[in-house]
Copies of this chain bind each other. A is one copy, B any other.
């Protein structure tokens, strides 16, 4: 088990409905030392990619993306989930369904901050059905940029998001892939990587 899998076993909580709660260290309270290790590991896994920008989606992707960005020496752009009066009209938009909130969001990035010159590493905390990620990929493509890699903290391997993204040929690295969970025993089964 790697450092993230160990942490999930120690502090993750399995709930009914395939919910894995990691809010004590990943997406409500955030362990910055852990994020730093994740940054180190992503830098190792994407050592051969030429990356000049990290793109993520609000809210829980932002903290990880910022700490990871230190290891790449690049800025972060976060996609916003609803139209704001502080965003100019000139934006890239993708429609995204949320597994957590059971609703549709528009995901928005200002055209000022993504262009054909951008070689992007996408970062997010979770990958399940992959809708959020597909929205981010769509936005980078609208800009004419290149998705050089995708770094995920926790992938739910029993949902189809990761498989779809890999089938499309993207270089996807998930630090922990959960293939099964048992809400009775709390057991989490990780995929061998």
Which residues of A are at the interface with B, using a C-beta cutoff of 8 A? Answer: 19, 21, 23-25, 28-32, 35-36, 58-59, 62-63, 65-67, 69-70, 74-78, 80, 84-87, 100-102, 109-110, 112-113
A58 surroundings in chain B (CB, below 8 A): 58-59, 62
Main secondary structure of the interface of A (DSSP, over half): mixed
Number of copies: 2
A70 surroundings in chain B (CB, below 8 A): 32, 36, 67
A24 surroundings in chain B (CB, below 8 A): 112-113
A31 surroundings in chain B (CB, below 8 A): 75
A165 to chain B, nearest CB (A): 23
B66–A32 touching, CB < 8 Å: yes
